[in-house]
C-alpha cells in the first residue's frame, strides 16, 4: 500500500513538473515546446489502468487549461478521453514495449496537433504548410526524446506491477 501511495505521489509530482516546464518556459527549439503533459498522459495510460489514466488526464488537462488562454476545460476533456482510450486499448490490443508506446504517443501528439489546427483555423485562417513547418512537425520531432525518457521513468515506476501477479494461488 505504501508503494502504491508513493507511486501516485511521484507521478503527481512528475506531472506537475512537466506542466510547469511546458507552460512556464520559453520555446526550446523551432519556436515551440514539446507537449510534455500529453506524452506523460499517454505513457501513464499505457502502464496504469483506465481510472488512473483518466484521473491524471483530467488533472493535467485542467492544469494545462489554467496555464493557457482559451476555453477552460478543453484540454481537460481531450486529455481525459485520450488517457481512457489509450488505457482501454492497451488492455485489449496494445503491448507495453518501447516501439508500441512510442508510436502510440506520437499518434496522440499528431492527432492533438491536428485538432488544435482545426480549432485555430475556425477563428483565423492559417495555412496548412505553415502549421506543418512551424508547429506540427517540430512538436512531433521534439516529442520523441520526451517519450523515450518518460518511457524509462514509467518502466521504473511500474516494474513491480509486472513482476508480481495480483492473484496468488493458494495450495
The three-class DSSP label of residue 112 is helix
Left if phi > 0, otherwise alpha if psi is -120 to 50, otherwise beta: which for 32?
A: beta
Q: How far apart are CA 68 and CA 65, in angstroms?
A: 5
Q: What is the pLDDT of residues 82-140, one digit of tens each?
A: 999 999 999 999 888 999 999 999 999 999 988 888 888 888 888 878 777 777 888 88
pLDDT value of position 40: 93
Average pLDDT, the chain: 85
57 pLDDT tier (thresholds 50, 70, 90):
very high
Rounded to the nearest angstrom, the gap between the alpha carbon of residue 50 and the centroid of all alpha carbons in its chain is: 14
Rounding to the nearest 10 degrees, give the CA dihedral for residues 152, 74, 95, 89. 160
Domains of the chain: 2-162 (1.10.1760)
52 φ, ψ (degrees, to nearest 5): -65, -40
pLDDT value of position 121: 84
29 pLDDT tier (thresholds 50, 70, 90):
low
28 pLDDT tier (thresholds 50, 70, 90):
low
Q: How far apart are CA 157 and CA 83, in angstroms?
A: 18
pLDDT value of position 33: 81
Rounded to the nearest angstrom, the gap between the alpha carbon of residue 141 and the centroid of all alpha carbons in its chain is: 15
Q: How many CB atoms lie within 10 A of CB 4?
A: 10
The three-class DSSP label of residue 158 is coil
Q: What is the DSSP string of 46-92?
A: HHS-HHHHHHHHHHHHHHHHHHSSS-TTHHHHHHHHHHHHHHHHHHH
Q: What's the whole-model pTM score?
A: 0.84
Q: List 147's β-bridge partners, or say none.
A: none
Lowest mean pLDDT across 15-29, 85-99, 139-153: 15-29
- Greater confidence (58 vs 161) lies with 58
Q: Kindly state the cell numbers that stand for 168.
A: 496468488
Q: Are 87 and 117 in contact (CB under 8 A)?
A: no
Amino acid at each position: 500500500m505504501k508503494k502504491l501511495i508513493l507511486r501516485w505521489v511521484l507521478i503527481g509530482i512528475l506531472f506537475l513538473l512537466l506542466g510547469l516546464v511546458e507552460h512556464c518556459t520559453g520555446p526550446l527549439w523551432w519556436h515551440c515546446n514539446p507537449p510534455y503533459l500529453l506524452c506523460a498522459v499517454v505513457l501513464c495510460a499505457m502502464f496504469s489502468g483506465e481510472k488512473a489514466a483518466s484521473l491524471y488526464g483530467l488533472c493535467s488537462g485542467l492544469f494545462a487549461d489554467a496555464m493557457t488562454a482559451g476555453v477552460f476545460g478543453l484540454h481537460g476533456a481531450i486529455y481525459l478521453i485520450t488517457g481512457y482510450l489509450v488505457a482501454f486499448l492497451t488492455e485489449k490490443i496494445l503491448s507495453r514495449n518501447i516501439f508500441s508506446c512510442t508510436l502510440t504517443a506520437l499518434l496522440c501528439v499528431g492527432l492533438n496537433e491536428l485538432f488544435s489546427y482545426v480549432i485555430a483555423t475556425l477563428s483565423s485562417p492559417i495555412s496548412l504548410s505553415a502549421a506543418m513547418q512551424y508547429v506540427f512537425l517540430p512538436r512531433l520531432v521534439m516529442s520523441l526524446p520526451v517519450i523515450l525518457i518518460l518511457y524509462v521513468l514509467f518502466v521504473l515506476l511500474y516494474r513491480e506491477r509486472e513482476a508480481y501477479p495480483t492473484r496468488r494461488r493458494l495450495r
